[in-house]
Amino acid sequence: MVPVPCRVMRTYQETGDTFTLELESLSQDGFSFRPGQFNMLYIHGVGEVPISISGDPHKPESVVHTVRVVGIVTWGIKKLRRRDFLGIRGPFGTPWPVDLAEGNDVVIVAGGIGLAPLRPAIYDILARREKFGKFVLLYGTRGPSDILYFRQLEDWRARFDFDLHVTVDRAFGPWKGNVGVVTTLIPKAHFDPVNTVALICGPEVMMRFTILELLKKGIPEDKIFISMERNMKCGIGLCGHCQFGPHIVCRDGPVFPYSAVRHLLGIREI
């Protein structure tokens, strides 16, 4: 339950309210984690928040988090500069089933900041790209200025082994890309539904509608995975805050197969 002090190596602004934090790895052997897991970040005297890990699992020398400023702790994290310290506990939670997806097509659907916890899975797949079939990323944000990892998306889009589409909910001015919610991208993607694993992360309502569309396409229920968000205080399944029906999200999740949460999604205030 005690955070380990950790030094900031660099920070960079991603969008108006979102920034990425690179921390020095905790031990000699580096920081090892699996895509989809999260850390608890502690700001001295202010508090602690769960933040998913957004870095490359094959680069253990640093710990990378992409953070949106939404409250006093994330505001405290934003104020950190190179060589400042924060406390860190983790990694916690269940990972994306990247290994299970080997031999299948992979469709990743991300909404807004939901791209951050999926990025380690993207790194992981690209690192052994030959082991997977078609690889699709569908990403939707509010507006053009909210697009996360802009340069990186451009680089990825230049690859011939990566089918990547971006859309925005609303657009003004010079935007010439797609406009519409992320589900409108699904018809653009080509994959073999029966042999596809889908990884989804974003607001709950976005995940619900995405699942409906993917099911319509024919992806089996047990091959759809989502990452849930709840109030996580302890990260180790002891404080009770993050319950979602029978699930303790910090321990049993955040990544769940759709089949495990199907009956709970859509029930109000559960």
Partner 1 sequence: MTYRLEANALDRLFKALGTKGYVIFGPTVRDSAVVYDRIESPNDLPAGWADQQTNGSYRLVKTDSPAYFDFTAPPQSWKRLLFPPSLHLFRSHRRNGTLEILEEEHETEPMAFLGVRPCDLRALAILDSVYLNGGASDSTYRQRREKTLIIAVNCTRAGGTCFCASMGTGPEAGAGFDLCLTELVSEHDHYFLVESGSAKGESCVSPLQAREATPQEQTSGREAIRTAAAAMGRSLQTQGLPELLAANLSHPRWDQIARRCLACANCTMVCPTCFCSTVEDSTDLSGAIASRTRLWDSCFTAEFSYIHGGSLRPTIKSRYRQWMTHKLSSWVAQFGSFGCVGCGRCITWCPVGIDLTEEARILRGQAAEHV
Q: In angstroms, what is the minimal distance from the CB of 83 to partner 1?
A: 7
Q: Is 71 in the site for partner 1 (CB under 8 A)?
A: yes
* DSSP β-ladder status, 47-52 and 38-43: antiparallel
Considering beta carbons, is residue 68 or 119 the nearer one to partner 1?
A: 68
Tell me the per-residue interface mask from 1 to 40 with partner 1, x by CB under 8 A, - otherwise: xxxxx-----------------------------------
Q: Which is nearer to partner 1, 60 or 237 (CB)?
A: 237
From residue 182 to residue 221, what is the string marking binding to partner 1 with x (rule CB under 8 A)? ----------------------------------------
Question: Nearest CA to 139 among 167, 105, 175, 176?
Answer: 167
Q: Say how far apart CA 66 and CA 80 lie, in whole Å.
A: 13
Distance CA 183, CA 167 (A): 9
> What's the min distance (Å) between Cβ of 195 and partner 1?
31
In the stretch 220-249, what mask flags binding to partner 1 with x, by CB under 8 A? ---------xxx-xx-xxxxxx-x-xx-x-
121-150: contacts with partner 1 (CB under 8 A): none
- Cis status, amide bond into 254, omega within 30 of 0: yes
- Helices marked H in the chain: 72-78, 115-127, 150-157, 204-217, 249-252, 258-261
Nearer to partner 1, 56 or 229 (CB): 229
Q: What is each CA distance from 144 to 112, 115, 166, 203, 210, in whole angstroms?
A: 11, 15, 10, 18, 21
Cα distance between residue 77 and residue 110, in whole Å: 24
Find the binder of partner 1 among 30, 32, 44, 82 (CB under 8 A): 44
Q: Which is nearer to partner 1, 196 or 227 (CB)?
A: 227
Burial of 49 per CB tally in 10 Å (0-12, 13-18, 19+): buried
Residues lying near partner 1 in the complex (CB under 8 A): 1-5, 42, 44-48, 68, 70-71, 74, 83-87, 229-231, 233-234, 236-241, 243, 245-246, 248, 251, 263, 267-270
